[in-house]
Amino acid sequence: MDQTTSHALETPYVQAIEHESAGRQVIASGSPPLLSVTGLTVALADRPETRLLDAVQFELRKGEFFALVGESGSGKSVLCSTIMGVASSELRCLGDIHIDGRPLADVDRRQRAMIYQQPSLYLNPVRTIGFQLRETVQMVGGLSKKEASQRAADLLCDVGIDDPRETMRKYPHEMSGGMNQRVMIAMALAMKPKLLIADEPTSALDVTTQKQILDLLERLRSDMAILLVTHDLGVALQRSDRIGVLYAGQLVEIGRADLVDRAPLHPYTRALFSAVPPLSEHPRRLQSSSRSLPEPGQRQAGCSFASRCSGTLDICRRTRPALQGIPQQVVACHNLEA
């Protein structure tokens, strides 16, 4: 992370970040965090006042399934690519990301893996599944071609593919979206990652396949932490331990899924979770409302939600609220009485 201009960017929020840190200490019980994101601000390199992410702060522990929700444009992909260390060169990142206690720059690239919404875009169309998986396995280390083939077949079994040898002979276009997603997960597992980021991994799949892929991710969580980006609030509530709500580049609430469902604290979270039918009725998919989400260049100081909130106080327009609350649920809001 480039720290050289951090003071210029962070000064208005230093106090808020310190408060967040204090809150974080409360959350940080038990095992040390696997992923720790502290005061992460991502801005345009040539326009540092245009922040895509603003002092984002959260932690994940091994075995945790964390869902990140937020409208289109709220910054989910920017956050994921920054954690993966592949943020666009047009962006300037400030703050700290640690994996297993080590700064991101010192962490082996293979300790984090990412799967995407459309696996077919990331698979080579002119190579067989076997070739691509074997190549990944061999990249990880020291196996002969025969050993790598066996490892590739084992990985396909691990992700629920019953006929791995047959699958290895196929090309991506001969496979369904769900099968290709399994292959992508197998490739991710080949790296033995500690952190798996899944960016909308099931939104292009039918309901049955969605469930299978989510079941698979749940099975895998014991060995790693999973950060799931989803627009589907039902999936977030049903599958995750905790939910983080991102609004206009700011994490406005982080809480245990059941608490966020039963008693959301931030007015934005409340609007998000109340505007959709109950879980049993149909998928609670997040609607994008780009008209109301301020563009990164037009965001004001203070709370990013102030212009949409019915309980806005003077302080909301001036000072960015810090995350605060009980360990299981923290919220960034000046007016919790509203």
Ligand X SMILES: Nc1ncnc2c1ncn2[C@@H]1O[C@H](COP(=O)(O)OP(=O)(O)OP(=O)(O)O)[C@@H](O)[C@H]1O
Q: Which residues bind ligand X (CB under 6 A)?
A: 44, 52, 70, 72-78, 88, 90-91, 295-296
For ligand X, the closer of residues 201 and 296 by Cβ is 296
Cβ distance to ligand X smaller for residue 74 or 181: 74
Kindly state the smallest distance separating residue 247's Cβ from ligand X, in Å.
Answer: 10
Torsion of CA 55, 56, 62, 65, to 10 degrees: 170
Residue 232 CA, chain-centre distance (Å), reads 13
List for the chain the helix, strand, coil content (%; round to 5).
40, 25, 35
Which CB atom, from 70 or from 302, has the smaller least distance to ligand X? Answer: 70
Compute the least distance from the CB of residue 248 to ligand X, in Å.
9
Q: How far is the CB of 184 from ligand X (least distance, A)?
A: 18
β 35-44/91-99 pair status: antiparallel
Residues 59, 26 contacting (CB under 8 angstroms): no
Rounded CA-CA distance 1/4 in Å is: 9
Nearer to ligand X, 32 or 297 (CB): 297
Q: How far is the CB of 287 from ligand X (least distance, A)?
A: 11
Closest distance of CB 211 from ligand X, Å = 22
Q: Residue 205 CB, nearest distance to ligand X (Å)?
A: 17
Q: Measured from the CB atom, is 54 or 61 closer to ligand X?
A: 54
Cα dist from 80 to 9, 76, 114, whole Å = 21, 6, 8
User: Which of residues 189 and 243 has its CB atom nearest to ligand X in the complex?
Assistant: 243
Nearer to ligand X, 88 or 124 (CB): 88
Q: How far apart are the C-alpha atoms of 104 and 108, rounded to whole Å?
A: 8
Nearest approach, Cβ of 269 to ligand X (angstroms)? 16
Output the CA–CA distances (angstroms, integers) from residue 2 to 17, 92, 187, 243, 306, in the order listed. Answer: 18, 7, 31, 29, 30
**Residue 153 and residue 165: Cα distance in Å, rounded?**
6
Task: Pull the structure tokens for residue 119.
Answer: 């696996």
270, with CB counted inside 10 A (0-12, 13-18, 19+), is middle
Nearer of residues 115 and 190 to ligand X, judged by Cβ: 115
- From the CB of 196, what's the least distance to ligand X, in Å? 17
DSSP string, 19-51: HHHHHHHHH--SSPPSEEEEEEEEEETTEEEEE
